[in-house]
Chains A and B, each alone.
Chain A
Amino acid sequence: MLQGWVIVVVSFAYLGTLFAIASYGDRRAERGRSIIANPYTYALSLAVYCTTWTFYGSVGRAASSGIGFLPVYLGPTLMVALWWYVMRKIIRISKAQRITSIADFVASRYGKSQLLGGLVTIIAVVGVIPYIALQLKAISGGFTILQHYPIIVMPAKAAAVPMLGDSALYVAAVLAAFTVLFGTRHLDATERHEGLVAAIAFESIVKLVAFLAVGAFVTFGVYDGFADIFARAGKVPELRALMTVPGGGGGYGTWAFLTFLSMLSILFLPRQFQISVVENVDEDHIEKATWLFPLYLLLINVFVLPVALGGLMLFSAGGVEADYFVLTVPMAEQAEGLTLLAFLGGLSAGSGMVIVETIALSTMACNDLVMPVLLRLSALGINDRRDLSGLLITIRRLAIAAILLLAYVYFRVAGEAYALVSIGLISFAAVAQFAPAILGGLYWRGATRAGAVAGLVGGFAIWIYTLLLPSFARSGWLPASFLTDGPLGIGLLRPHQLFGLAGLDDISHGVLWSMLFNGALFVGVSLIGHASPAETTQAALFVDVFQHTQGIERARLVRGSASVQELLPLVGRFLGPERAREAFAAFARRRGVPAPEALPADAGLVQFAETQLAGAIGGASARVVVASVVQEEPPGLDEVMDILDEASQVRAYSRELEQKSRQLEEATAGLRAANERLQELDRMKDDFMSTVTHELRTPLTSIRAFSEILLEDPHVEVAQRKVFLSIIVKETERLTRLINQMLDMAKIESGNAEWRAAELDLREVIAEAAAATSQLFSEARVTLTQALGEAAPRVMADRDRLMQVFINLLSNAVKFCEPGRGRVEIRLSAAGGQARVDVGDNGPGIPPEHHETIFEKFRQGGDSATGKPRGTGLGLPISRRIIEHFGGRLWVESVPGQGATFSFILPMEPAAAAPAGGQVRAV
């Protein structure tokens, strides 16, 4: 019934359906109504992770190692939980940098390095080819089995059939053709394939439904539910072992390694990068995918053990490969439709993987391997060709064919030596080599290009040596002694026990050594070396992507400019003139310019052109191409920082200068003011000095004159002589007093005077002062009366200083009083917390214009009768300073002809004032 042609027709019908879905998706996308712009499609398309390895291989692995198939799904489940942090960052960077592949990503991170791009591409192609071979093997194996329906015949060894009779070759060819149709219909700057994603999502549904159908059939049709299968299997000792983790460290160690490997694979497999990053429409879709994708993994694994156990029990005689239980169990039960569905499920799993993987690889091969070489070979005249878009597409198509051909070759050479899962794991180990460079590059600014190259080369070399070469050895391409004795018989270098490390399975062993070398070289070389400016720029853009991007715009670090007339043809050569013109027109519209020709020739335009090209030929190549027109290298971050730094230094410097000049102006103004003040002071000092000299010379004049008179004339009458001598004595006293007071004043003014404040009873001080001046009063025949009242105000002051004030005021009063008729009254009162002292006399009084000047130095009031000043002219100024020092005030009230009253107030000590004032105050 299921003849070959039926299977072929159904297969092509299925692929045709896929193509129809893809075309529909593309058309919808062109009309702006995307059918993939939802998290469900995104999550389903992510399930491209589940290949024939999952579809067929999981059961196979479960049949040999029980739950050992699980780590490959636990890893992604764990990693997906971290996606919000890791994947979102990768997506954000990739959108900002127009990254089209994982090779592009690594190259861009390390300063748009063509070397790294090429290296990653080579690793990816070499590493993933076994994986693609696996799909070919599975699909063709499934086809072969189905062909013999209902007789269960295992596919013959590939090597045993002639190549032209090998279905795998045709599978490869068909898939190549289909991939070319899918992936390279046109060049797109973003390298996104909406229709493809829709088709892949559909394939995910098909394979899930197919597997669930087979699982349900086996579990509930062939057997009587899960309990039945597990109960029956539990009775067979070999089967019971499958349900537990094998004992010993090896079992769990292998689990850990496989989980680790698959965690990295879900990130770094080129097709996963393509689907999860490049084809991502909205980074928020990650959020739902974080649980939808693990759910998918769970569903597709639910029936793995039942099918494996069921198959093993069904074919207990052996001879049937567990890898194909999904097909053979329904066949054995004669379930024709289900068998066909299972085959379609396998086809969908395999084709989905092959299509996406080869598109991703061909993009990388074209952009990061072929184009850089072609661009360098100017002899080919590439730079002179007007339209390169055709060439680009051709390169990609050839790359797809070449990759599938290589995969087929690998399948022929080594495919038979391993089970499906083991082949897949070799690929996993290869792409795991990207982990240090990418994860390190995402979070460690110090990661350098040299470090990434060293890590990748080292890790990849170990991978080749411990995993790839052994697979050749097993298939007979290399002598078996290579494995058993090591190269040239050096035991330490045995690929599966490198440096004597034994006890691990092949995969874990290879992963351990390759990742160890890779990581150590990456970190070590990064630490030793220095990053170039271009690397530092990119490092910052990657590591701090969330600070750099609000949306898609990249930090504008491109310097230099080029005109539209130069850039449009350049971009046109790679994208096709039409497409380039559309892109430039759209860009012009965004910038509010009517036509592309009117676009200003600035850095923004160069940036735009570069990102357009980056989509077509990769970031590294785009940079080279654009630089050929712009002639100016993009400045490195260092350089930019230097410029900024310099600018800010200059700014700071000029700010400083401004500040300095302002300060200078202020200082100048200050100096001018100070100078004026000094001149003023100088003038005042001059006046003061002149006054002082006058005050000093005057008594000196008398002293000298009378001394000379007395010296020259011994015959001066005794009475006169006495008068003269007493004048000399008086003038000498006056001189002494003057000098003392001048020193006193100087001390007070300079702040060097000593003040000994103590609580004083003013009545006591007044009594003392009265006693001290009693001689003066009696000599001048002036009466002193005291009206001290009942209050005994206490003040805080220096007793000696206060005495000085009292004596000064009293002696002044005496001086200006008429002898005999003079009367001086001293009054003491207290009010409002202040003690007040008045010293009144009945002398000539002081004219109002002098009420203030008499308190200035050497401005003593003259005797209006003789016009002759009496005293030093410092007594009142000193008294006023003393009173003011203790918080009081000294002034004079006088009406000429009616005497003068000098008054001062001092603040009372509150605590002491209360009892004296008879008032009780609460303290």
Chain B
Amino acid sequence: MARHILIIDDEPNIVLSLEFLMRREGFEVAVAGDGEAALRAMSERPPDLVILDVMMPKLNGFEVCQRIRAEPALRGVRVLMLTAKGRETEMKKGLELGADAYVTKPFSTRDLVTEVHHLLEGRA
């Protein structure tokens, strides 16, 4: 069964590229344009991994991450933070809130794909 990945970002072009990349790797891909939509999507179908943008309208990435970690039903979800905010403190904040990885934009497509694989395989 293919792994399910939820892409949460408000930048359509970035979503488009991520979607293309993940599908190419054979993952099932869903998209949410903001945090609320993402939470709705996750409650319907918990993904194996979310690629989560931090700067979004409505719920931002940190809040979404917190919700995921607070929700027992979403315990197994891997969170990959993907953000244009590259500062040390934000990276730390994201990891402390329970993110599994933190990747800054612009990213190397290869590195991102490797990271996603790594996270999903480490899950066991």
Contact = CB atoms under 8 A, between A and B. Distances in A.
A724 B12 CA distance: 12
B17 A702 contact: yes
A690 B21 CA distance: 27
Interface in A716-738: 720, 724, 727, 730-731
Interface in B9-45: 10-14, 16-18, 20-21, 24, 33-34
- Of the listed residues B18, B24, B85, B105, the one surrounded by the most CB atoms of chain A closer than 10 A to its CB is B105
A703 B85 contact: no
A702 B56 CA distance: 16
A694 B84 contact: yes
A699 B87 CA distance: 18
B12 A866 contact: yes
A709 B57 contact: no
A655 interface: no
Interface residues of A, number: 27
Contacts of A590: none
A701 B86 contact: no
A224 to B, nearest CB: 136
B110 interface: yes
- Of the listed residues A699, A702, A724, the one surrounded by the most CB atoms of chain B closer than 10 A to its CB is A702
B66 interface: no
A708 interface: yes
A701 B109 contact: no
B5 to A, nearest CB: 16
B95 interface: no
Contacts of B67: none
B106 A694 contact: no
Interface in A661-703: 690, 693-694, 697-703
A702 B55 CA distance: 15
B81 to A, nearest CB: 14
A704 interface: yes
B30 to A, nearest CB: 16
B34 A705 contact: no
B105 A868 contact: no
Contacts of A709: 17, 20-21, 109
Contacts of A712: 109-110
A731 B58 CA distance: 24
A355 B11 CA distance: 127
A727 B11 CA distance: 12
Contact of A697 (B18, B33, B56, B86): B86
B109 A867 contact: no
Contact of A705 (B10, B55, B107): B107
Contacts of B11: 698, 701-702, 868
A701 B85 contact: no
Contact of A693 (B56, B84, B107): B84
B84 A713 contact: no
B33 A693 contact: no
Contacts of A701: 11, 14, 17, 84, 105-107
Interface in B57-110: 57-58, 84-87, 104-110
A246 interface: no
Given A693-B85, A701-B106, A868-B33, A706 B10 contact: no
Nearest to A868: B10
B39 to A, nearest CB: 14
- Of the listed residues B13, B21, B56, B108, the one surrounded by the most CB atoms of chain A closer than 10 A to its CB is B13
A701 B84 CA distance: 8
Contacts of A730: 13
A698 B107 contact: no
A867 B106 contact: no
A888 interface: no
A569 interface: no
A702 B106 CA distance: 8
The dominant DSSP class at the B interface is loop
Contacts of A708: 108-110
A103 to B, nearest CB: 98
A596 interface: no
A700 B13 contact: no
A866 B107 contact: no
A862 interface: yes
A727 B84 CA distance: 18
B63 to A, nearest CB: 14
A868 B12 contact: yes
Contacts of B20: 709, 720
Contact of A690 (B12, B87, B109, B110): B87
A724 B109 CA distance: 15
A705 B17 contact: yes
A862 B11 CA distance: 11
A867 B33 contact: yes
Given A708-B109, A709-B17, A731-B13, A862 B84 contact: no
Nearest to B55: A694
Given A690-B85, A697-B86, A702 B108 contact: no
B56 A867 contact: yes
A150 B106 CA distance: 152
A433 B81 CA distance: 114
Interface in A35-52: none
Contacts of B17: 701-702, 705-706, 709, 724
Contact of B16 (A694, A727, A862, A867): A727
Contacts of A866: 10, 12, 33
Contacts of B21: 705, 709
A699 B14 CA distance: 8
B85 A705 contact: no
Contacts of B58: 867
B17 to A, nearest CB: 4
Nearest to B109: A708
A708 B21 CA distance: 10
B70 to A, nearest CB: 23
Given A694-B55, A701-B84, A705-B21, A867 B110 contact: no
A702 B84 contact: no
Contacts of A699: 13
Contacts of B16: 702, 727
Contacts of B12: 866, 868
Given A727-B13, A868-B12, A698 B34 contact: no
Contacts of A868: 10-12, 33, 57
Given A704-B106, A709-B109, A697 B84 contact: yes
A701 B18 CA distance: 10
A868 B58 CA distance: 11
- Of the listed residues A705, A706, A868, the one surrounded by the most CB atoms of chain B closer than 10 A to its CB is A705
Given A866-B12, A868-B11, A705 B106 contact: yes
A734 to B, nearest CB: 10
A84 to B, nearest CB: 94
Contacts of B18: 705
Contact of A700 (B10, B33, B106): B106
B62 to A, nearest CB: 14
- Of the listed residues A720, A731, A866, the one surrounded by the most CB atoms of chain B closer than 10 A to its CB is A866
A702 B24 CA distance: 17
A694 B57 contact: no
A11 B110 CA distance: 150
Contacts of A867: 10, 33-34, 56-58
A724 B104 CA distance: 21
Nearest to A706: B17
B109 A698 contact: no
Contacts of A705: 14, 17-18, 21, 106-107, 109
B68 to A, nearest CB: 19
20 contacts: A697-B84, A697-B106, A699-B13, A700-B105, A701-B11, A701-B106, A702-B13, A703-B106, A704-B107, A704-B109, A705-B107, A705-B109, A706-B13, A709-B21, A727-B13, A727-B16, A731-B13, A862-B10, A866-B12, A867-B57
Given A690-B87, A713-B24, 6 more contacts: A690-B85, A693-B84, A704-B109, A706-B17, A709-B21, A868-B11
Chain A to chain B: the 7 pairs with minimum beta-carbon distance, closest first: A867-B57, A705-B17, A697-B84, A701-B105, A702-B13, A701-B106, A704-B106
